Amino acid sequence: MNINLTLFGQMFFFSLFVLFCMKYVWPPILAAMQERAEKIAAGLAAADRASHDLELAQEKAVERLKEAKEEAAGIIDAANKRGNQIVEEAKELALAEGQRLKEAAQSEIEQEVNRAREQLRGQVAALALSGAEKVLAAEIDQQRHVELVDKLAAEL
Amino acid sequence: MASEGQTVSEYIVHHLTNLTYGKLPAGSVRFDGSVVGEGGLWTMAHGGQEAGAMGFMAIHVDSMLWSIGLGLLFCWLFRRVALKASSGVPSGFVNVAEMLVEFVDGNVKTTFHGRNPMIAPLALTILVWVFLMNLMDLLPVDLVPGLLALAGVHYQKIVPSTDPNITMGMALGVFILMLFYSIKIKGMGFIKELTMHPFNHWIFIPVNLFMEVVGLLAKPFSLGLRLFGNMYAGEMIFILIAALYGAGALWFAPAGLIHIAWAIFHILIIILQAFIFMVLTVVYLSMAHEDH
């Protein structure tokens, strides 16, 4: 247990090992650890961001869905309205067409009646003639003639 | 275990003697009765007597070699980790080393508030190196010395931290750093701290100087001697237990029990002492950096 040169030997090697540690051991290990810590922090931040993005995307999706539903409802409403409108229009058109057809038929009937009447009027003369011939052929009887003429007239 | 023809006290003294190489001064008597001639003699000491005669001009070969060897082991282990370390997933010993680095870094950060890139590596070196030196205490006391005795080397202390030269060498290294940074950071403030504390008046300068210098010197001495004392006492108890094995077959069981108990307790001590040496170093250097 003597104090001797070992003291200085130990001091010398102590400083040597500390210098070695300071130059070649500590900085790379600490740098690697710090780098890893940063990487992990970045990873965690990215995960956070991703989950936040996901939340946002979900919110957006819900919103879009809502919008789409509203839009669809609007479209259905519009379509219903339009359908009703079309039906109404068709009804009106059909009514108008029916009216028009009816009017046309009526006017045709009237025309037919008028034509028939004109024809009859033309034939009245011939009938009168034939009637007159018959009267002339037979004896003229006032009473019978009146009846005959009446009958003719009723035949019109 | 005490070998043939050796008393217990001889056994213990033998175990506490370093393998010493040094210069025997002229006129000293050697183990075989011869007298060293003019100019002295550089030689390997045979026993404590000769080692004592060598005085300061000697070196403890065993302490030095074990200490350097363990220091190189530390450098090699941690250099490998430094080369392997990446920002990827660590594995194996890299984990252990990184845990130690993190632990030391945390301790230094909480204790040391200045900016000095040397403190943390210094603390790591002290922690691991002192731990490795203390760890040698857990090897059976006769294992390595016994094997070396077969090879012809008769004295061997394999625990460098039971050698006051080793612990005081480190403590003095720390002390030099303390002085260096005190002067570098505080400049004249350091002189003022030594002379004007705790009584701030010029009349008290001698009193202050005495108290502060004693306080200053107490730091490295307590630092080095605490580690030495703890490890020396631990080693001594291991040696006594080993001697107890030699006291007869009846003592085998109790000696074994005490041995196991002390070894388990000692695991705590070797870690604790390495940690204390590291923390106190950081604290002292932190004080040297603090400017009032």
Gyration radius of chain A over CA positions: 61
Q: Is residue A26 within 8 Å of B121, Cβ to Cβ?
A: yes
Distance (Å) from the alpha carbon of B204 to chain A's nearest alpha carbon: 35
B120 at A interface, C-beta within 8 A: yes
Gyration radius of chain B over CA positions: 23
Q: Is residue B266 within 8 Å of B234, Cβ to Cβ?
A: yes
From the list B140, B141, B132, the residue with the least C-alpha distance to B16 is B141
Would you state the pLDDT for residue A113? 93
Is the Cα dihedral B24, B25, B29, B34 positive or negative? positive
Contacts of A6 in chain B (CB under 8 A): 58-60, 63-64, 163, 165-166, 169
In chain A, what percentage of residues exceed pLDDT 90? 72
Distance (Å) from the alpha carbon of B72 to chain A's nearest alpha carbon: 8
The answer to whether the pTM exceeds 0.90 is: no
Would you state the pLDDT for residue B278? 96
What's the rounded Cα separation, in Å, for the pair A80 and A138? 82
What's the rounded Cα separation, in Å, for the pair B117 and A67? 62
pLDDT band at A11 (very low <50, low <70, confident <90, very high): very high
Helix H or strand E segment including B60: strand B58-60
Residue extents of the structural domains in chain B: 60-289
What distance separates the 2 farthest-apart alpha carbons in chain B?
Answer: 70
pLDDT band at A139 (very low <50, low <70, confident <90, very high): low
What's the rounded Cα separation, in Å, for the pair B166 and B220? 13
Question: Number of Cβ pairs closer than 8 Å across A and B?
Answer: 136
From the list B268, B62, B238, the residue with the least C-alpha distance to B166 is B62
Contacts of B121 in chain A (CB under 8 A): 18, 21-22, 25-26
- pLDDT tens for A82-122 read 999 999 999 999 999 999 999 999 999 999 999 998 888 88
Comparing A49-53, A55-59, B52-56, the range with the smallest average pLDDT is B52-56
From the list B146, B167, B147, B153, the residue with the least C-alpha distance to B233 is B167
The predicted model gives A35-49 an average pLDDT of 95
Identify the closest residue of chain B to A23 by CA–CA distance. B121
What's the rounded Cα separation, in Å, for the pair B161 and A122? 158
Would you state the pLDDT for residue A138? 67
Half-sphere exposure of residue A116: CA atoms within 13 angstroms, side-chain side: 7
- Three-state SS annotation for A48-99: HHHHHHHHHHHHHHHHHHHHHHHHHHHHHHHHHHHHHHHHHHHHHHHHHHHH
Q: What is the pLDDT along chain B (292 residues), one digit of tens a residue?
A: 445 567 888 888 888 888 889 888 888 888 887 888 777 888 888 888 888 888 888 999 999 999 999 999 999 999 999 998 888 888 889 999 999 999 999 999 999 988 889 999 999 999 999 999 999 999 988 888 889 888 888 888 899 999 999 999 999 999 999 999 999 988 888 888 888 878 888 888 889 899 999 999 999 999 999 999 999 999 999 999 988 888 888 888 999 999 999 999 999 999 999 999 999 999 999 999 887 6
H helices then E strands: how many in chain B?
Answer: 10, 3
pLDDT band at A141 (very low <50, low <70, confident <90, very high): low
pLDDT at A79 over 90: yes
A42 at B interface, C-beta within 8 A: no
Whether A11 sits inside 8 A of B83 (CB atoms) is no
In chain B, positions 37-76, which contact chain A (CB-CB < 8 Å)?
A: 51-52, 54-60, 63-64, 67-68, 71, 74-75
Whether A7 sits inside 8 A of B172 (CB atoms) is yes
Is the Cα dihedral B51, B53, B55, B57 positive or negative? negative
Is the Cα dihedral B284, B290, B291, B292 positive or negative? negative
Would you state the pLDDT for residue A89? 94
H helices then E strands: how many in chain A?
Answer: 3, 0
CB under 8 Å to B278, separation ≥6 — which residues? B104, B107, B123, B126, B127, B130
**Token duo for residue B108:** 């230094």
Indicate the residue of A9, A20, A39 with minimum beta-carbon distance to B64.
A9
| ipTM for this prediction | 0.90
- Edge-to-edge strand order for the sheet containing B41-44? B41-44, B20-24, B58-60
Would you state the pLDDT for residue B2? 43
The predicted model gives A12-25 an average pLDDT of 95
Whether B75 sits inside 8 A of A20 (CB atoms) is yes
Indicate the residue of A4, A26, A33 with minimum beta-carbon distance to B124.
A26
Q: Is residue B48 within 8 Å of B17, Cβ to Cβ?
A: yes
Would you state the pLDDT for residue B220? 95
What's the rounded Cα separation, in Å, for the pair B95 and B131? 18
Active-site hit among B30, B116, B226, B286 = B226
